[in-house]
A and B are shown apart, each in its own frame.
Chain A
Amino acid sequence: EDQVTQSPEALRLQEGESSSLNCSYTVSGLRGLFWYRQDPGKGPEFLFTLYSAGEEKEKERLKATLTKKESFLHITAPKPEDSATYLCAVHRRNYGGSQGNLIFGKGTKLSVKP
């Protein structure tokens, strides 16, 4: 069964303390991997799309990387405003399965303390 697993479930960092979030996936034919940020009570905000192993994308303090089995979201010198839940989603090659075309992980809740 196709699935997406994110770890850790929650992460607490001090301001300036760099770390990484993990997204492991098993899908039958990856068409793309997406990272979103979700603030409490809000819809997800698009961050990155990665398509092939070895690809990297950067945006401010965030950097996303992709291998054949997992993706990492690296956060460099985080600030309190980076606190949010970060969601990973994968797009499978063959739409029509019971889980739909985008499969989401449960997310990692990041808290950055000043």
Chain B
Amino acid sequence: GAVVSQHPSWVICKSGTSVKIECRSLDFQATTMFWYRQFPKQSLMLMATSNEGSKATYEQGVEKDKFLINHASLTLSTLTVTSAHPEDSSFYICSARPPGLPGETQYFGPGTRLLVL
């Protein structure tokens, strides 16, 4: 149980285009999902908290107009990188908290590698 999927697993796009990444909880409902970004040899950094039915909460320094988050249902959250630039190239990972588990236990998706040319 507690499986989180992401699509696509990798994407290459041209500078200035927008890219949408999907995060799904396959066997549980998640009112809250999280979006992280990981640069090579760096820590996972939380970008935003996605809340079903309400606006996402963004971390300091993350542009909410550039990284659009939509939590349309209890099993799906999407992250859209708008007007992508080469510096947005990174590994984007989502996570979700299954119900019934203690504290802040999060299960992670497999990640999406984004390369902006």
Contact = CB atoms under 8 A, between A and B. Distances in A.
Interface residues of B, number: 27
B68 interface: no
Interface in A1-40: 4, 31-32, 34, 36
Interface in B74-114: 91, 93, 95, 102-111, 113
Contacts of A107: 43
A99 B59 contact: yes
Interface residues of A, number: 26
B46 interface: yes
B41 A106 contact: yes
Nearest to B44: A104
Contacts of A105: 43
A41 interface: yes
Interface of A: 4, 31-32, 34, 36, 41-46, 49, 51, 87, 89, 91, 98-107
Interface of B: 4, 6, 34, 41-46, 49, 59-61, 91, 93, 95, 102-111, 113
